[in-house]
Chains A and B, each alone.
Chain A
């Protein structure tokens, strides 16, 4: 089955700086890669996703890049703000038809230092 590795486990950055979280996956059949933000005790919230036919996607301060050959994808957050502090999870699945569950990375605790 799929295996998703995520690094780092904890990331502390100064407010206003950029944060980068990296993930690798093992199953070449995976073609859908979402990123979720989870605050303590709450549900994961989708912040951005990318499909295998695209190399990069951007939404305001958030961007995701995908390298299918190397089987890795990254989350980039620019101009970080205190409200960006949370746990971020990457995930992967074969998303054709929406019938596949997600395999998650172990998460990154992002801390924004004021």
Chain B
């Protein structure tokens, strides 16, 4: 399957600051990547679909101006959490979709907002 990396693995920031998370597809050119959020002891929730060279598609209830997604190349998508607040603290995981729909996940980024 596809090899996916994320950076950073953990980040702690102050309330009101912005945080950028990178998702890289290391061995596969991904026209589509996905961003999920997982709160402790809960399931994964799809936040948005990242499309290379075009605007991301956001799920209902996800603020596009708060969670900025950029997919500038076939191997890199970034998620920027703007003006982060404690309720944004979560595990953010990206995935790469191979042909046929199989998704392979990155290792995740643990965001803690103080």
Contact = CB atoms under 8 A, between A and B. Distances in A.
Interface residues of B, number: 27
Given A32-B101, A102-B46, A104-B44, 10 more contacts: A42-B108, A43-B106, A46-B1, A95-B100, A98-B100, A98-B102, A99-B32, A100-B49, A102-B34, A102-B103
B108 A95 contact: no
Interface string B34-62: 10100000111110010000000001100
Interface of B: 1, 32, 34, 36, 42-46, 49, 59-60, 93, 95, 97-108, 110
Nearest to B1: A46
Q: Which 10 A-B pairs have the closest CB atoms?
A: A95-B101, A98-B97, A101-B46, A43-B105, A32-B101, A104-B43, A98-B101, A101-B34, A104-B44, A106-B43
Contacts of A45: 105
18 contacts: A32-B101, A42-B107, A43-B106, A43-B107, A44-B44, A49-B102, A96-B101, A98-B99, A98-B101, A98-B103, A99-B49, A100-B49, A101-B49, A102-B34, A102-B44, A102-B46, A105-B43, A107-B42
Contacts of A34: 102-103
Given A96-B101, A99-B49, A101-B34, A43 B44 contact: no
A33 to B, nearest CB: 10
Contacts of B44: 44, 89, 102, 104
A103 interface: yes
A93 B32 CA distance: 15
Interface of A: 1, 32, 34, 36, 41-46, 49, 89, 93, 95-107
Contact of A44 (B1, B42, B93): B93
Contact of A43 (B99, B102, B108): B108
A104 B102 contact: no
Nearest to B4: A43
B101 A100 contact: yes
A108 to B, nearest CB: 10
Contacts of A106: 42-43
